[in-house]
């Protein structure tokens, strides 16, 4: 079964036929620039392995734009900058910490892979902030979990790219993106799952999964993007089901703490208790993560302005 057939089975009745979806994906997505060569290098690292610190430093130093952003982050008040500023990458890494520097670097590289209409910049920033929040929080849920195949690094990356299909829409279909945003900001209508299909576009999860494949991201990331919009992750029989549950919890929590500004959303029916039970996480940990993400919200918004 083709990727298109598999994805079409799990989405809400697309307005396009399978042939039209395939044509859109094969022609439109290839208009996007290739993914940065830094991405696979960063993805080979582990966020919890300080032994890779020297490797991370060399990767960052190889790209002037990324170097400037990492040093800028390290010197910001959101990351506790006091006294003498950080002028070198090794100084920035010491201030940010390995895990945080890895997450920010990977997020910047992926987030800057496409160029969009300047009018849609605020929408891209909102999408970046939401995606980064989901990635960070999914990583925390995965770290707390006691089940196998719930890798925190995979959870972070899956959470960060789960809505990357929308990024492609912003880049490739600016007029339709404007119309979708207007509808999502209208209290009488609001955002609903499958909104993009009503504008003659493939579902964003289908676009995102195909983009993951095109960019050569790990197969499990494409699977997570493909299934992230399912009503119940517990019904999805894939090895990464635990990560999918962590992503679903993280998405629900991120929407509670700071939903994208200006958008009106339908109620999310996520069954938090069942997902927590599946991951072996006590309910009280959810409340602690709510407070944890609330504390990070301002910093995430700051990061988004540089995306």
What is the fold of 3-32+116-304? Hypothetical protein af1432 (1.10.3210)
Q: How far apart are CA 133 and CA 199, in angstroms?
A: 28
pLDDT of residue 82: 58
Please tell me the distance from the alpha carbon of residue 29 to that of residue 219, in angstroms, as a whole number. Answer: 18
CA pair distance 39, 216, nearest whole angstrom: 10
Q: Distance between the two ends of the chain, CA-based, in angstroms?
A: 37
pLDDT at 47: 62
Say what the pTM is.
0.86
pLDDT value of position 225: 95
pLDDT means per 10 residues, the chain with 307 residues, are: 40 65 87 87 74 86 89 72 72 86 87 82 89 94 92 92 93 92 86 87 93 90 92 87 95 88 71 92 94 90 74
- Closest-CA residue to 286 (of 273, 298, 302): 273
CB of 242 closer than 8 Å to CB of 149: yes
**Which ranges in the chain are annotated with CATH 1.10.3210.10?**
3-32+116-304
- C-alpha closest to that of 157 among 219, 67, 239, 94: 219
């Amino acid at each position: 079964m083709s990727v298109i057939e598999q994805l079409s089975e799990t989405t809400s009745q697309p307005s396009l036929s399978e042939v039209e979806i395939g044509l859109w994906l094969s022609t439109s997505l290839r208009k996007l620039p290739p993914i940065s060569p830094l991405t696979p290098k960063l993805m080979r690292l582990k966020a919890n392995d300080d032994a890779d610190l020297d490797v991370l430093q060399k990767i960052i130093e190889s790209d002037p734009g990324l170097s400037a952003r990492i040093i800028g982050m390290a010197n910001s008040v959101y990351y506790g900058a006091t006294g003498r500023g950080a002028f070198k990458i090794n100084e920035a890494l010491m201030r940010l910490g390995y895990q945080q520097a890895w997450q920010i670097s990977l997020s910047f590289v992926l987030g800057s892979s496409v160029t969009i209409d300047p009018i849609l910049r605020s929408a891209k920033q909102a999408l970046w902030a939401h995606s980064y929040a989901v990635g960070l929080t999914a990583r925390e849920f995965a770290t707390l979990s006691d089940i196998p195949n719930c890798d925190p690094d995979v959870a972070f990356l899956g959470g960060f790219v789960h809505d990357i299909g929308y990024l492609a829409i912003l880049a490739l279909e600016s007029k339709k993106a404007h119309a979708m945003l207007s509808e999502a900001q209208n209290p009488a209508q609001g955002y609903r799952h499958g909104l993009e299909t009503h504008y003659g576009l493939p579902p964003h999860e289908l676009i995102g999964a195909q983009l993951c494949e095109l960019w050569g991201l790990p197969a499990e990331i494409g699977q997570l993007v493909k299934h992230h919009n399912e009503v119940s992750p517990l019904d999805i029989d894939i090895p990464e089901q635990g990560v999918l549950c962590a992503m679903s919890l993280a998405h629900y929590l991120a929407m509670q703490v700071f939903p994208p500004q200006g958008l009106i959303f339908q109620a999310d029916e996520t069954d938090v208790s069942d997902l927590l039970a599946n991951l072996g996480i006590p309910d009280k940990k959810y409340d602690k993560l709510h407070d944890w993400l609330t504390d990070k919200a301002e910093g995430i918004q700051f990061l988004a302005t540089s995306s």
